[in-house]
């Protein structure tokens, strides 16, 4: 009657799809013009990865953060992480098409590197920005959150790609389906 099992051949495309979401999240975090942080009070100060702006309503005075070496490092690390993530995504598609377990381990290694690089960038930014600005309280907002989202997805996919070589037969459809529940 009712049987519940995992269809590995159909589910193997979920991981590259997750990597695609991580790429989109990284692009949002990098390209956002006003979403990394803002002050809590009068909304008179906001910043992205690239610049900070002060003012009220239509009278904004913006200053590039690229004058600071820490901001250049954050931008470089995020962009390098994105490039490695795109390479990992392409390799993941190739690995899933051919069920190449050696390539899956390489993808996992790339994703671990991406996670490390982006964690460093996402920690440097608030620490150094708080040293630069001493007044009031600030909230780290949606674009900064997308950066963390991409990093967390990369960590999860790295773990999955490390585990996938054990399930080579299941991924290729050659193993017998193991049912989790049968109603008989």
pLDDT in tens, 154-164: 999 999 888 77
Q: Quick one: pLDDT at residue 164?
A: 76
pLDDT range class, residue 3, cuts 50, 70, 90: very low
Within a domain: 155: yes
Q: What is the mean pLDDT of residues 72-90?
A: 96
Q: Where are the beta strands (DSSP E) in 32-134?
A: 37-39, 45-47, 51-56, 59-64
pTM of the model: 0.84
pLDDT range class, residue 112, cuts 50, 70, 90: very high
Within a domain: 13: no
User: How many CB atoms sit inside 10 A of residue 40's CB?
Assistant: 10
CATH of the domain at 86: 1.20.140.150
Give 50-68 pLDDT, tens digit per residue: 888 888 777 888 888 899 9
Residue 164 makes CB contacts below 8 A (sequence gap 6+) with: 15, 101, 104, 171
Within a domain: 57: no
Residue 71 has which token pair? 């901001």
pLDDT above 70 covers a percentage of the chain that reads 80
Within a domain: 128: yes
Q: Per-residue pLDDT for 12 more than 70?
A: yes
Domain count, the chain: 1
């Amino acid at each position: 009657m009712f049987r519940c099992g995992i269809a590995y051949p159909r589910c193997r495309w979920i991981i590259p799809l997750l990597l695609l979401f991580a790429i989109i999240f990284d692009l949002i975090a990098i390209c956002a013009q006003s979403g990394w942080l803002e002050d809590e009070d009068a909304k008179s100060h906001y910043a992205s990865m690239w610049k900070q702006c002060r003012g009220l309503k239509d009278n904004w005075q913006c200053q590039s953060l690229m004058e600071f070496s820490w901001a250049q490092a954050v931008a470089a690390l995020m962009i390098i992480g994105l490039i490695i993530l795109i390479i990992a995504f392409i390799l993941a598609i190739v690995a899933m098409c051919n069920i190449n377990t050696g390539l899956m381990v390489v993808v996992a290694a790339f994703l671990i590197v991406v996670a490390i690089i982006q964690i460093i960038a996402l920690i440097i930014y608030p620490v150094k920005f708080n040293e630069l600005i001493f007044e009031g309280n600030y909230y780290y907002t949606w674009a900064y959150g997308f950066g963390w989202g991409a990093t967390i997805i990369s960590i999860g996919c790295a773990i999955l790609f490390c585990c996938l070589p054990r399930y080579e037969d299941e991924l290729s459809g050659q193993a017998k389906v193991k049912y989790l529940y049968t109603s008989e």
